[in-house]
Amino acid sequence: MTLFIRNADIVTSSKRCSADILCENGTITAIGPGLEVPDGAEVIDASGKLVFPGFIDPHVHIYLPFMGTFSKDDWASGSKAALMGGTTTLIEMCCPSRAEDPLEAIRLWKSKAAGIASCDYTFHAGVTRFDESTPAALKAVVEEEGIASFKVFLAYKGAFGIEDTELYQTLSLASDLGVVVTAHCENADLVAETQKRLVGEGKTGPEWHEPSRPVTVEAEGCHHLMTFAEMTGAEVYVVHTSCIPAVEAILAARERGVKASIETVAPYLTLDASYAGKPDFEGAKYVMSPPIRSREHQEFLWQCLADGTVDTVGTDHAPFDFATQKHMGHPEAGKAVDASFQPTGKAADFTLIPNGIPSVEERVKLLYTHGVAAGKIDLATFVRCASTRAAEIFGLYPRKGEIAVGSDADLVVWDPEWRGTISAATHSMATDYSAFEGWPVVGRAETVTVRGRVMVKAGKWCGDPGWGEFLARKAKLS
């Protein structure tokens, strides 16, 4: 399988140049001007376009049992949606319950993707408890299953959340093994008590989700994690960072020598807290945790992307239907917009709304439209935060996140002149709504390749289901 991209305006996180790109047997084998086209090669003319390394979303949920339901996407729809948006590699959060063994959980999560995913993929192994059996299981996850990052929750008490002793033990083991620990940072007890008070006061609508998890709660969670990371020497990665105080808590730890990376997500860069107040329960579409914040936090995050303070932009893609699943938290139980909805019989409130916004397909377009085209970030920063840094942090670089001889032929031919509109009627995700319905966007992934195989052409799907491969990663100390 030979692919030849002619007249490429190549943009990476560190360089920009004009050249041809030759890809053979899944990898890039030559880059330079005026290369000879091999016989039988598939030729793509990239004149007038930009060519980026395949984008990487470091934080998605495809298979997710959560809050009494299951996420809507499977690996067929989720990976297709990712590729339609230019994302060629997904890193999924494996989120077992406290009752599940972490090794068995990773094998279950892998089975959901194997032979189905169209893009390449790997996982963060969820650690939702730590007992005498956990160290051996996690060592097997790293050494036998090829997983080099863990995930912990300092939230969702009684479900995914871990206690401080478990956090210390997890970080200590991660430090010994040389794996990165990704973390959802909030204070679970403060969230629980605040939610109890608000619901008791009759404040049950989606607009009360953000006040139940204010910026101080997120910042305290970040400070808490940083303290434990400092004490154990573990490398940490804070997922979906949403606000100024949280970033400041992480920066203070960095100054003390803590190895900490920062992720934000596309919804925080484009939406604001007012969306959760939309009438007729529309605000439920925008419930995620940590919540979407007010505009000053959004502008701060853009500045942090531009100066390199924030490392990556993911999605926390967690797709749930509005008509049924989001209505699990409707204050008038059973008042759904879909007749198939079955009420739970509980006195519903915002704490029962499944958390998450479907966005894996739109991340790159939103980042380009509201970042690059708006003059907030340059092209190199765009590539760095949407691809290269994730590859570097999670042990995929330079196989992924780069255009270089020897790298995988994951390439995105981007049309910067294209104009379009986001809509649930045309997206590939399995959800019945888009959080960005009707939004205009600038630029699109015109051609997308995964290891040299063309998966999207002229903006249309032409991929092979099951083409995606699991990406085994090694711990940094191995």
The predicted model gives 149-167 an average pLDDT of 93
Determine the pLDDT at residue 346. Answer: 52
Could you give the percent of the chain with pLDDT greater than 70?
A: 96
Residue type, 240: H
The predicted model gives 231-246 an average pLDDT of 98
Could you give the percent of the chain with pLDDT greater than 90?
A: 93
Determine the pLDDT at residue 157. Answer: 83
Determine the pLDDT at residue 342. Answer: 47
The predicted model gives 77-82 an average pLDDT of 98
Q: CA neighbours within 13 Å on the CB side: how many for 187?
A: 16
* More confident position, 190 or 67: 190
What tokens were used for 247? 């970033």
Determine the pLDDT at residue 337. Answer: 47
> How many angstroms separate the CA atoms of 162 and 155, rounded?
8
Determine the pLDDT at residue 347. Answer: 64
- Convert the pLDDT of each residue in 464-478 to its tens digit: 899 999 999 999 876
Question: 413 — alpha (psi -120 to 50), left (phi > 0) or beta?
Answer: beta
The predicted model gives 350-367 an average pLDDT of 97
Q: What is the mean pLDDT of the chain?
A: 95
Residue 185 has pLDDT above 50, yes or no: yes
Q: Considering only 132-136, 301-305, 332-336, 339-343, which range has the smallest mean pLDDT?
A: 339-343
Determine the pLDDT at residue 251. Answer: 98
Determine the pLDDT at residue 315. Answer: 98
Determine the pLDDT at residue 343. Answer: 47
* More confident position, 336 or 97: 97
333 — pLDDT class (breaks 50, 70, 90): low
* More confident position, 281 or 341: 281
Residue 334 has pLDDT above 60, yes or no: no
Determine the pLDDT at residue 338. Answer: 47
The predicted model gives 220-249 an average pLDDT of 98
Three state DSSP letters for the chain:
CEEEEEEEEEECCCCEEEEEEEEECCEEEEEECCCCCCCCCEEEECCCCEEEECEEEEEECCCCEECCEECCCCHHHHHHHHHHCCEEEEEEEECCCCCCCHHHHHHHHHHHHCCCCCCEEEEEEECCCCCCCHHHHHHHHHHCCCCCEEEEEECCCCCCCCCHHHHHHHHHHHHHHCCEEEEEECCHHHHHHHHHHHHHCCCCCHHHHHHHCCHHHHHHHHHHHHHHHHHHCCCEEECCCCCHHHHHHHHHHHHCCCCEEEEEEHHHHHCCHHHHHCCCCHHHHHCCCCCCCCHHHHHHHHHHHHCCCCCEEECCECCCCCCCCHHHHCCCCCCCCCCCCCCCCCCCCHHHCCCCECCCCCHHHHHHHHHHCCCCCCHHHHHHHHHHHHHHHCCCCCCCCCCCCCCECCEEEEEEEEEEECCCCCCCCCCCCCCCCCCEEEEEEEEEEECCEEEEECCEECCCCCCCCECCCCCCCC
Domains of the chain by range and CATH? 55-387 (3.20.20.140)
pTM of the model as a whole:
0.96
* More confident position, 242 or 1: 242
Residue 341 has pLDDT above 70, yes or no: no
